[in-house]
Structure 1
């Protein structure tokens, strides 16, 4: 009796090689950004919220009663960015904010049934495809990527404040 083999996932062929290494790397960046954009478009189409809002909503659902500061830390974003993401979720009725407990200034967030339905419709991963894939890479690969990207960012004279604005948000 023959046993059935489970097909092994095939990797897509590498991008057509150009003679110039800078062009080849640029093409790979385009592939990464296009994959991220495609995921965020699918999220918005299916769930009706941005990718960053979906991530925030998923955290609120997982941690009922979370505050804005803790949400910002969980997403590694600035608290004002978390507040801006939440504003849309609150306006859409996907999240509610309550002032409860001893400190009436602190807001506790909870997802609503409408929020749960939006999450059920949305394609995963809720954190986005790039964080998901980066989380699967081994430590040596991540360390090498970090060093190499640090060199690129230094050449770009990149503004480090942008590192705390999640992909899939408008950064307001």
Structure 2
């Protein structure tokens, strides 16, 4: 290990590939952030809560486990989202059917009003945009982002935390 101080990295020209890609990431992040702000302003709920509410509305009786799969988030995160929606009076959670262990979720009128006020897409602009890409583009993007994630030495478990949540 050298004790010599390292020279600071030289700034890259604005048209260098890393700078261009960094700008693209900023555009994506800012589009997501802008949509979340608008969603919260118009609906009174955060993006993940609106998305969960929309899934429950489209699948009455869904359980927390199925909701976590639909949102591709950890089950405890889905349970926390549901708890918040129940506490605010937007969703009911009732034991139904023969298996009394599972809870069926249903949107209440107040939750339907939130969904009416919320700007589309309810799942968020990024999931919506990704769903419009063809398979080869998605595979290439997945591989390239996998390489970037490896270089960042990022915690892949963070992929189960919805954007806009901490």
Map 1:93-132; keep pairs closer than 5 Å: 93-132=89-128
| Aligned mate of 2:17, from 5, 21, 28 | 21
1:33 aligns with 29
> Any stretches of 5+ residues in structure 2 without a counterpart?
1-12
Counterpart in the other structure of 2:6: none
Aligned residue number for residue 135 of structure 2: 139
User: In the alignment, does 2:48 pair up with 1:52?
Assistant: yes
Q: Which residue of structure 1 aligns with residue 71 of structure 2?
A: 75
TM-score (norm 1): 0.86
CA distance in 2, matches of 1:19, 1:113: 52
Deviations 1:71-121 (A, max 9, x none): 011111111010111111111101010112112221110000000000000
Q: Deviations over 1:20-49 (max 9, x none)?
A: 211111111000000000000011011111
Give the TM-score, by structure 2 length: 0.90
Q: CA RMSD in A?
A: 1.1
Shift of 1:69: 0.4
Are 1:162 and 2:147 matched, yes or no? no
Where has structure 1 moved over 4 Å in runs of 4 or more?
Answer: none
Q: Is the 8 A contact 1:48 1:118 kept in 2?
A: yes
Q: How many positions carry a matched residue from both structures?
A: 154
| Structure 1 runs not aligned, ≥5 long | 1-16
Contact 1:65 1:109 in 2 (8 A): yes
